[in-house]
């Protein structure tokens, strides 16, 4: 009897401890995923009902990497990540990437947003394009006139 | 900046001479990457030449200890079944169509020292049709096989994460 109760109690304790830890740790701390499949249609659906924030749906979430699908209906603001590298695969729409330079008027520490990029370079983004944005480089994705839905995958790697 | 690079090279040259280490190819050990942009057309060109004797071409875009990514173009069916002991595959289909077979077992699977298994067959696997824009995650340890549809080219990008 005791031998049956003890493991159960230990299990419950472990569960409550791990739940508390997960709560305290916040995001980017999920265990390895099982097999996961999202069709193009599933991802398109997520972009209209994002799971996180106004444009993002998180597809996998770990301490040192995570994956998102992003659907933008309007241009994004300047972004700067001190500790995350972005790998981006453009899937739908026509846009412009501005990167490098400095920013005036941004807010935040480590993760900064907003303001205006000065002295950045720009290039066109088309479906099928891929780029890697190092940590610590300002970047902004804008939509071309006529593009109302711009979708891309982002792989974030902790540096 | 140039001076500090020169010093690093000098130290590397001295320690290399003292230790006389054999030359080895370092994989998964590159420094952080700088900004990199590959257009759809450039990626297409990179994958024009299949690996010798195979209807398959792959281009590793970056290469680090615990992650790397590669673009793959396949024209083949009856590909080898793969299983990675320590790598999660996160795959985005870019163009073409094909079939994913996942799960089950590779009969007689014998991992090599790196925990990698390749097999000719896979039993009890499930299948799924692959279309552009699809995304899937193959956990470490799960057998999987990706084939292009007959007469088609299948392009995808794999992000590999070490677990």
- Least confident residue range of A26-35, A51-60, A110-119: A26-35
Burial of B17 (0-12, 13-18, 19+ CB in 10 A): exposed
Q: For A85-91, what is the mean pLDDT?
A: 97
Q: What is the pLDDT of residue A17?
A: 41
* DSSP letters for A15-80: HHHHHHHHHHH-SS-PPPP--EEE-HHHHHHHHHS-SBTTTEEEEEE-SSEEEEEEEESSPPPPEE
> Inter-chain contact A129–B139, Cβ cutoff 8 Å?
no
Tens of pLDDT, residue by residue over B20-46, are: 444 455 577 777 889 999 999 999 888
Q: For A47-70, what is the mean pLDDT?
A: 90
Q: What is the pLDDT of residue B12?
A: 41
Average pLDDT, chain B: 83
ipTM: 0.76
Of A34, A127, A132, the CB nearest to B36: A132
Indicate whether B133 pLDDT > 70: yes
d(CA B37, CA A90): 11
B155 → chain A, closest CA residue: A128
A121 → chain B, closest CA residue: B35
Q: What is the pLDDT of residue A21?
A: 38
> Best residue in A28, A34, A40, A91 to probe B by mutation, most B CBs within 10 Å?
A40
Tens of pLDDT, residue by residue over B57-77, are: 888 888 888 899 999 999 887
What tokens does A132 get? 């890697």
Q: How far is B120 from chain A (nearest CA, A)?
A: 22
Contacting residues for A61 by C-beta, under 8 A, at least 6 apart: A27, A28, A29, A30
pLDDT band at A1; cut points 50, 70, 90: very low
pTM: 0.79
Q: How far is A20 from chain B (nearest CA, A)?
A: 23
């Amino acid at each position: 009897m005791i031998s049956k109760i003890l493991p159960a109690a230990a299990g419950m304790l472990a569960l409550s401890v791990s739940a508390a830890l997960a709560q305290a740790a916040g995001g980017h701390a999920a265990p390895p995923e099982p097999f996961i499949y999202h069709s193009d249609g599933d991802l398109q659906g997520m972009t209209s009902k994002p799971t996180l924030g106004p444009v993002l749906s998180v597809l996998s979430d770990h301490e040192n990497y995570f994956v998102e699908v992003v659907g933008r209906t309007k241009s994004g603001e300047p972004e700067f990540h001190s500790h995350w590298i972005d790998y981006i695969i453009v899937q739908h729409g026509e846009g412009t990437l501005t990167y490098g330079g400095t920013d005036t008027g941004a807010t935040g520490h480590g993760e900064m947003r907003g303001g205006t990029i000065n002295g950045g370079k720009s290039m066109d983004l088309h479906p099928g394009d891929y780029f890697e944005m190092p940590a610590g480089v300002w970047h902004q994705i804008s939509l071309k006139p006529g593009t109302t839905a711009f979708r891309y995958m982002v792989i974030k790697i902790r540096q | 900046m140039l001076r500090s690079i020169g010093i690093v090279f000098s130290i590397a040259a001295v320690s290399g001479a003292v230790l006389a280490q054999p030359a080895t190819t370092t994989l998964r050990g590159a420094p952080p990457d700088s900004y990199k942009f590959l257009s759809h057309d450039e990626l297409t060109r990179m994958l024009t030449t299949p690996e010798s004797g195979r209807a398959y071409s792959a281009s590793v875009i970056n290469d680090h200890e615990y992650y790397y990514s590669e673009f793959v173009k396949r024209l083949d069916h009856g590909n080898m079944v793969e299983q990675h002991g320590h790598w999660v595959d996160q795959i985005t289909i870019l163009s073409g169509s094909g079939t994913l077979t996942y799960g089950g077992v590779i009969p007689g699977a014998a991992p090599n020292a790196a925990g990698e298994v390749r097999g000719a067959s896979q039993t009890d696997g499930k299948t799924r049709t692959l279309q552009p824009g699809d995304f899937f995650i193959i956990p470490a340890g799960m057998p999987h096989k990706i084939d292009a549809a007959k007469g088609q080219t299948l392009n995808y990008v794999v992000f590999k994460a070490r677990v």
